[in-house]
Structure 1
Amino acid sequence: MITFFHAMRATLCARTGDVLPIAQTFTTMTSLTSFGWNTHFEQYFHTYQAQGLEAARVTAIEGFRHKLATETGPVDATLSGALMNGADNWDLPKVGDWVAFKAYDQEGIIIAVLPRVNELSRKLPGRSIEKQVIATNIDTAFIVQGLDRDFNPMRLQRYIVQIMQCNIRPVVLLNKQDLVDHPERYRDEVMALGYNCPVLLLNATGQEGLQEWAAEHLRPGHTYVLVGSSGVGKSTLVNALLGFRLQEEGAVSDFNQKGKHTTVSRNLVLLPSGAMLIDSPGMREFGVTLETDDHSLNYHPLLASLSAECRFHDCTHQHEPGCAVVAAVRKGELPQEVYDSYLKISREQAHYQTDSIERKRTERQFGRIAKQVVQHRKQRKY
């Protein structure tokens, strides 16, 4: 399994002088606490423990095989039939999940997924209304953008909004600062969006700013995830933190100036410092998945500060008279692109909510029909 063996290899390299990882204070612990086990998961595990099951964390998924970190070491496991056939896709084990499993002939069978603290998700690309769970039980999501060709504040805003909706702390990493003049200008542009989240400048290949980032933001026992488009340097960051090459490092295509997919699966890696990091494949679409009727502007701070001056408390900031937001756009006090981004995300959110409600209504109707069929069979049989 990646987590134990690669972290131990990084420590060995540090001792021999072959490669010097950024974090050198790694202890070869095999307890579940080193993988983030805490009282939240423990309270839900007592029932399964009484059934003789063991707890583990999912570190990678390869087809039908789930790589687990357990107290006794790495274990390969598959899903039980009941779990595979009785749960929606987004409720099945994902990288970062804690599960209850039964050890069987040096392998494991996953019986249940313990309740999550949170889940990083997005709407599936295209016309689908389903959500895709990217990773679970995350403390901080690092949004990586490259300053060479990938920098896009409005796309960055979309990432921030969705990550905040998932109850995860966002941190912006502006990579490849060595390829542009005046990189601070890009940082200021992100800060101008008004989000209260760190914005850091990095150069993964030259390690400029990397040690400062690792020391300040990668805490032992915490779980982090890297998200962003292909070619922004996520795999390079992982390799630099480990001190050796875990993922192949890609580049930007000369044909369409878009990133090449180098990471094709998600892996939870235990860094030498004791922090856990999940790399993910590049994502060019990052649709919102908020299902509740929450129309607040908590995820749009520039608009939130203006909305207090609107004439109506339930103003949608589109066509109502006395709207302070629309007035600010007309006066040039609120950037047009920020307002357009707000409208686009709001429309997507409303569409997702509507489709989600319809899906739940259909599921309830199907459930009633299924019960009627069961009752009818019982009446005819007896």
Structure 2
Amino acid sequence: MTSLTSHGWNTHFEQYFHTYQTQGLEAGRVTAIEGFRHKLVTENGQVDATLSGALVNGLDNWELPKVGDWVAFKSYDQEGIIIAVLPRLNELSRKLPGRSTEKQVIATNIDVAFIVQGLDRDFNPMRMQRYIVQIMQCNIRPVVLLNKQDLVEDPERFRQEVTALGYECPVLLLSATGHEGLQEWAAEHLHPGETYVLIGSSGVGKSTLVNALLGYRLQEEGDVSDFNQKGKHTTVSRNLVMLPSGAMLIDSPGMREFGVTLDSDDQSLNYHPLLAALAAKCRFHDCTHQHEPGCAVVASVHSGELPREVYNSYLKISREQAHYQTGSVERKRTERQFGKMAKQVFQYRKHRKY
């Protein structure tokens, strides 16, 4: 028998599962998705399951089961059919790459997201800020991992550069290949029964970290491409694995785009602490921090108090946020129109005499 509690089951999921339990369904957590096959961990061990037709036809893609989800399923001929997805505690998402304004859910029910950057060539504070902003708005705790500290002369300088962004999240230095700082990180930040996810670009060492923590090779460790000096994709799918410590870890493929999915802008400055502190001094409470007179943010940029790259990053994320919100509103309007039209067609067919 497998203890569901050790895999993250708690009272939140218990209360929503009660109705399905009375229907004779079982609970399981998605640990991997391979095509149409969903790998589940259940009280009776591992189960392969597929989606019911009602789920496939009735939900948007981001609502379908993802790695980390808890689902209600029905056993059938040594396999399972997933009937429902239990309400999520949170979901790690991003805007789909390209010009799309749709949301892509990467993993769900996460306690902490580890943002991994390599100090050899991948280090980019503004990309780091984008990750932190998106993770925070997903209601997930961010922790920064600066990997490959053994490849630079002064790794502390990089750590201080991230800390200077003003976010109150841990910034840790380690080296996965030499295991330098690895055990300290694992002992302090990987707790039994909690779920963690590793995110970052290709080649930053995520797979190396997973393999080192597991003690065996789950994913192949890739090299740097000779063509563009960027990391090769070594992880091609997401897997939730149980570490020897009892913590659960999700590795994810490298992502070169990590678009924000902020649905509202009323608290957007909460994700930009350096600007939030300055904004309180602006002349107008609804200042956009771009062209208004008496803007303390713009004045700080001109004086050099606020780094221009941080300000430009804020403007870029704000534009993306506005684009995403506009697309989200348009999608909802289209869905309402389609729903209204479908209802009219149904009523027409119902009352039409043949």
TM class by shorter-chain length?
over 0.9
Q: How many residues align?
A: 354
Q: Distance in 1 between matches of 2:100 and 2:308?
A: 29
Q: 1:310 aligns with which of 282, 287, 292?
A: 282
CA-CA distance at 1:250 after TM superposition:
0.9
**Structure 2 unaligned regions, length at least 5:** none
Q: Distance in 1 between matches of 2:58 and 2:15?
A: 23
Q: Which residue is equivalent to 1:79? A: 51
Amino acid paired to 1:259: G
Which aligned pairs between 1:115-264 and structure 2 lie closer than 5 A? 115-264=87-236
SS at match of 2:270: coil
Deviations along 1:24-66, one digit per CA (max 9) or x if unpaired, are xxxxx71100100000000100110010000000000000000
Give the share of equivalent positions with the same residue, in percent: 87
Q: Does 1:344 align with 2:295?
A: no
CA-CA distance at 1:97 after TM superposition:
0.1
Q: Which residue is equivalent to 1:276? A: 248
Q: 2:264 aligns with which of 275, 286, 292?
A: 292
Deviations along 1:243-284, one digit per CA (max 9) or x if unpaired, are 111100012212211110000000000001000000000000
Deviations along 1:98-131, one digit per CA (max 9) or x if unpaired, are 0000001110000000000000000010011111
SS at match of 2:246: coil
Amino acid paired to 1:94: K
Q: Distance in 1 between matches of 2:152 and 2:229?
A: 16
Deviations along 1:280-306, one digit per CA (max 9) or x if unpaired, are 000000000111243531000000010
Q: Does 1:353 align with 2:325?
A: yes
Deviations along 1:204-242, one digit per CA (max 9) or x if unpaired, are 001000001000000000000000000000000000000
Q: Which residue is equivalent to 1:334? A: 306
When normalised by structure 2's length, the TM-score is 0.99
Q: Distance in 2 between matches of 1:381 and 1:78?
A: 40
When normalised by structure 1's length, the TM-score is 0.92
Which aligned pairs between 1:18-167 and structure 2 lie closer than 5 A? 30-167=2-139
Deviations along 1:171-193, one digit per CA (max 9) or x if unpaired, are 00000000001100000000000
**Structure 1 unaligned regions, length at least 5:** 1-28
CA-CA distance at 1:71 after TM superposition:
0.3
Deviations along 1:117-166, one digit per CA (max 9) or x if unpaired, are 00000001001111110000000000000000000000000000000010
Superposition CA RMSD, Å: 0.9
